[in-house]
Amino acid sequence: MTSNVKAVASKDRPIVIIITEPIVAEYQTRHTIECSVEAFPNISSVEWNITTEAGTKIFSSDENNLGKYFGSSVTSPSLDILMADFTDTGRYICTAENIFGKTSSTVVYIQVYGISLTVSSTYFTVVYGNDVELKCNITGRPDITKVTWNPTLTTTTAQTPGTTSTSTTSTIIQNPETTSPATTSTSTQNIGTTSPSTTSTTTQNPGTTSASTTST
């Protein structure tokens, strides 16, 4: 169950109310750190102190730097993280100010999880008889535990006018001397830490063995 806590305030400084449990955010999704402020007189500014592996920075809507973050204003003190990345993992503190002074919230911890997967190219033209290397760059949090390449062979049969062309997909590669398969890559992971890895698959000359290598 989620619980909130009120930061201790003296005199008429603002009271900052924020979630206390660690937050788990999915990679490349928008996430909001809810924050509310009680104050009289009204607050004049709100800022967020953000500490990650890259260091510490201060964000306020007055900076008009909305490329990564949004919110942090006197009317909407909550902080929106747009397209959360692994680099957003860290500590977040909200601070509000009025004429009597500033009050800061307790620390909120954010952990971003998910998989970032990119391939060097989605299309290759290969000279018959030559090798081809397919590269895949993967970063995962938690650790990547498995990487697989799924070859798919697609064939198209041209028919006479007035009939319908058909396309079939199969994971069985026949006659490797004349046909090279298309490949896709998938990965799975366990709860843990960040694990960058590079995976490559080499399709070799006819009569040799195809090799798949994974490095972490």
Question: What CATH number has the domain bearing residue 28?
Answer: 2.60.40.10
- Of 149, 150, 140, which Cα lies nearest the Cα of 189? 140
Average the pLDDT over 51-74 and give the result: 81
In this structure, the answer to whether residues 169 and 108 fall within a common structural domain is no
In this structure, the answer to whether residues 87 and 103 fall within a common structural domain is yes
In this structure, the answer to whether residues 92 and 181 fall within a common structural domain is no
Residue finishing a domain among 66, 85, 113: 113
- Of 99, 95, 101, which Cα lies nearest the Cα of 37? 95
Q: For residues 172 and 109, is the Cβ–Cβ distance under 8 A?
A: no
In this structure, the answer to whether residues 109 and 131 fall within a common structural domain is no
**Whole-number Cα distances in Å, 160 to 134, 154, 165:** 37, 20, 9
Q: Looking at the predicted structure, is the pLDDT value of residue 199 above 50?
A: no
- Of 33, 195, 29, 24, which Cα lies nearest the Cα of 113? 24
Domain that holds residue 71: 4-113
Q: How confident is the model at residue 121 (pLDDT cuts 50, 70, 90)?
A: confident
Residue finishing a domain among 91, 113, 135: 113
Give the CA count within 13 Å in the CB-facing half-sphere of 180.
19
In this structure, the answer to whether residues 50 and 127 fall within a common structural domain is no
Q: How many domains does the chain have?
A: 2
In this structure, the answer to whether residues 146 and 103 fall within a common structural domain is no
Average the pLDDT over 45-70 and give the result: 83
Q: How confident is the model at residue 191 (pLDDT cuts 50, 70, 90)?
A: very low
Residue finishing a domain among 113, 143, 162: 113
In this structure, the answer to whether residues 96 and 171 fall within a common structural domain is no
In this structure, the answer to whether residues 132 and 88 fall within a common structural domain is no
